[in-house]
Structure 1
């Protein structure tokens, strides 16, 4: 530990990655150099900066004694102090933000949807794209990484060490990043729609709101864990729940008739198509 990490745009996703790094378990002798001693959280309004401060206060001390500094409209100064920069702005702010700072050959970790490594190359040739999601804030997230050719093996390890604390972390070729944006980045919203639908089905049939929500949450949580622990394909586990002429197969057939499966697939595809267009605006 000993370097400074600057986050440009510490909103929802910036706070998620900040939380993951700040709350990471105490580093070992082998990993301690991957962690910053200071994080500078940059925002363009005092209200946003205050929100980050309140978030950090709610955590208590960092296991790695990481200090957090808060700035408003001081991107350039914060980047000059940093060895690693995290870019977490909205896609349409990227050009404006990067033109106002000098990243040079320092590592840029981008959380931005749509912008390609080639586009980042004119501002930051040493770049890793990361697509993660809001559950990362609580350590239950997913992250997909894609590196530019200029990213060293050391920096690849550094990114995996930092980002891995969002929950789980994998590397994919950049050609898959728009799909990852839809599946991983937008995925929580799609799952929340499913959760809401399960909850409301219980309410419709007379189960009180609180209990219906509790049942729906545990069904989703338990099923996801079952798939993870068994390693089985979802279709195999799905058919284990079905009995001939039973309730489950009847419900599944009705959902297929209503296009639930195709609706989810098309929704994720549409989100990926929009992600591909974001960097072109």
Structure 2
């Protein structure tokens, strides 16, 4: 039985807990001074009374607190690090580098910097991983295998985390906004709110699943749907000439600029 402990119980921690909840070989525990017991009860896992207790009972600890709390949490964990140095840390702290994590936790702690998105809750997420250069390949593989249960994962260099965060981390909000826009068009053109919502959601979800399962590139699928000179091609032409690519570039750039302010 592998024990994963969460220090922090916010939205991302809860999404990861939900994603791993179906694995009977994983036991999960959580500590948060304010929400820990409530989250543990709602997600049917065990609450601990301190970060140190989480460390001492876990094989892998997910740091999911606000970044500003890292120093305080690290101080509390120091006795546990001495007693049980084998624990692996997976940090989801935004903007906190591997060097900063080691400065707080110590140079000997094995740390993975992780960037999951909320879709890990339904095992269809994306997680970027970054490791120190000297981390053993077996440890990398074990950590990656855990996150593969939550969806897709790739090992990236830290310099790529900014763009990965803007696309994968913030992307669900942008896709949700596009889905809402499709729904609103449906309502405007005469559908009920309920039917329009289901139509938009199923179209977006089904298209994503189609591309993933058939391994088709987005434009290949688009070209399969379109008949030259047909109705889909007419709409697609409006979409592309309307500056969709530039709009997304501006959206992702604005996200990256704001993220950089917190680093």
The TM tier, using the shorter chain, reads 0.7 to 0.9
Distance 1:255 1:92 in 2: 42
SS of residue matched to 1:100: helix
Counterpart selection for 1:137 from 121, 137, 140: 121
Query: 1:94, 1:275 → 2: CA distance?
Result: 18
- Which residue of the partner structure matches residue 62 of structure 1? none
Of the candidates 165, 169, 172, which is equivalent to residue 188 of structure 1?
A: 172
Partner of 1:31: none
Aligned counterpart, 1:32: none
TM superposition shift of 1:218: 1.6
- Equivalent-residue separation in structure 2 for 1:216 and 1:4 (angstroms): 39
- The aligned counterpart of 2:146 is 162
Preserved CA contact (<8 Å) 1:6 1:84: yes
Shift of the alpha carbon at 1:82? 3.3
2:47 to 62, 66, 70: 70
Is the CA contact 1:91–1:278 (under 8 Å) kept in the aligned structure 2? Answer: no
Measured against aligned partners, the alpha-carbon deviations of 1:96-154 in whole angstroms (never above 9, x if no partner) come to 32233226443210112211111112123421011111121122211121112343233
Measured against aligned partners, the alpha-carbon deviations of 1:45-81 in whole angstroms (never above 9, x if no partner) come to: 1x4521331122xxxxxxxxxxx42035x22333244
Matched, 1:43 2:32: yes
Give the whole-Å Cα distance in 1 for the aligned partners of 2:156 and 2:68: 24
| 1:95, distance to aligned residue in structure 2 (A) | 3.1
Q: Where does the alignment leave 5 or more consecutive residues of structure 2 unmatched?
A: none
Q: How many pairs are equivalent?
A: 255
Q: Partner of 1:63 in structure 2? A: none
1:55 corresponds to which residue? 43
> Over aligned residues, Cα RMSD in angstroms?
2.2
TM-score by length of 2: 0.86
Distance 2:48 2:207 in 1: 42
* Structure 1 residue matching 2:52: 3-state secondary structure: helix
Q: What is aligned with 1:30?
A: none
Report what 1:118 is aligned to. 99
1:108 to 71, 89, 101: 89
Match of 2:21 in 1: 22
Q: 1:75 to 1:205 in 2, by over 3 A?
A: same
CA 21–232 in structure 1, closer or farther in 2 if over 3 Å, else same? closer
Gaps of 5+ in 1: 28-34, 57-67
Structure-2 residue corresponding to 1:91:
67
